[in-house]
Structure 1
Amino acid sequence: MSTNTIVVGVDETPAGAAALSWAAREAELRGAALKIVHVWQIDAAVAMAGAEVPWMAYETDARTNAGRWVAETIGAEDASGAPRRIDVIQGAPGPTLVEASRDAAMLVVGTRVHTGISRVLFGSVSHYCLTHAQCVVVAVPSVAADDSADRDGADALADA
């Protein structure tokens, strides 16, 4: 059964900020609850080195950073003044977001271009979510500073 909830995956990238902004506006338009999810992972090199992993420190950093990203992007409170809820979960981003959206009406993720070896090494969270989620998935592209400058130049040429 689907609830009137929009789940959005957030991280520190421009794509994460674009997804969060879009999801917050959509939740407001629909009168939906907004569930903000930040997924963190232990760096593979740290895990493979066999060193003791300071789990609590990693999770505390993830919570602090996620709170800062949300506050900087859409504010620390919603329109009613209620604090925004941010779930911080350790795991693989794609499967974790799909699980978090299991009963949601919509899952919103950011997209960025991965080509060549980076796509092989890092995969695509948005592609995973699009192919595995049981709800509507919206993949919001980030707008890089270089892209907007190119568009402004093209608009100026079109106006000339």
Structure 2
Amino acid sequence: MVDQLVDETGRIVVGVDGSAGSEAALRWALAHARQMNASVEAVAAWQYPDMYGYSWGYLPSMPDGGDFSASAEKVLEEAVARVKDQVSTTTAVTTRVIEGHPAQVLMEASRDARVLVVGTRGHGAFAGVLLGSVSQHCVQHAPCPVVVVPRSDAGDAPVAG
């Protein structure tokens, strides 16, 4: 399926949260953007923490200054800069920070995309073979083809959905 995407044109949407998996996904998107004659749009999602924990004395960690949107934007910009420093590309990357659950944000952002690219975050030997909840949702519900890129240290090939 990935080979079928190469000759298409359009926009590649990639979910970026600053994790190693999302940076691997961004590297994949940049590497294939030129072949696909596509642009790359890196999307970060943020949301306010659930409130039910407050009644038990739990306070969620807050980003610097308490501004979730600014924190997500900073993480996104730093991740894009890091990846662009690692790869040789002239492909421009547009960025968007959107409030909402990551799976829903990516579904909406990829509505008219050629392909949606997400990474995995695996947590150990067993969990590493499973898709995370966001990538699983994207594979099952995205309005376009989805490529799931494993972390670069996993050594696996991308999975197309």
- Given the two structures, how large is their TM-score scaled by the length of structure 2? 0.71
Identical aligned residues as a percent: 39
Change (3 A) 1:113 1:79: same
Alpha-carbon distance, 1:141 to partner: 0.5
In the other structure, the counterpart of 1:70 is 80
Equivalent residue number for residue 95 of structure 2:
86
Q: Is contact 1:3-1:103 (8 Å) kept?
A: no
* Structure-2 separation of matches of 1:3 and 1:30: 5
Matching of residues 15-26 of structure 1 within 5 Å: 15-26=21-32
Mapped contact 1:37–1:86 kept (Cα < 8 A): yes
Task: Tell me the residue number matched to 1:33.
Answer: 39
* Runs of 4+, deviation exceeding 6 Å: 53-56
Whether the 8 Å CA contact 2:9–2:37 is kept in 1: the answer is no
For residue 41 of structure 1, report the CA deviation from its aligned partner: 2.2
| Residue identity in the other structure for 2:11 | T
Contact 2:9-2:36 at 8 Å conserved across structures: no
- Tell me which amino acid in the other structure corresponds to 2:135: S
RMSD: 2.9
Distance change (3 Å), C-alpha of 1:42 and 1:3: farther
Q: Which has the larger radius of gyration?
A: 1
Superposition pairs for residues 1-160 of structure 1, below 5 Å? 4-44=10-50, 47-48=51-52, 49=54, 57-75=67-85, 79=90, 84-113=93-122, 124-144=133-153
Q: Residue 85 of structure 1 aligns to a residue in which SS? A: strand
Query: What's the TM-score, normalizing by structure 1?
Result: 0.71
Residue 112 of structure 1, CA deviation: 2.9
What is the CA–CA distance in structure 2 between the aligned matches of 1:69 and 1:126, rounded to whole Å?
19
Q: Please, which runs of 5 or more residues in structure 1 have no aligned partner? A: 149-160
Q: Choose 20-29 or 53-62, whichever is displaced more.
A: 53-62
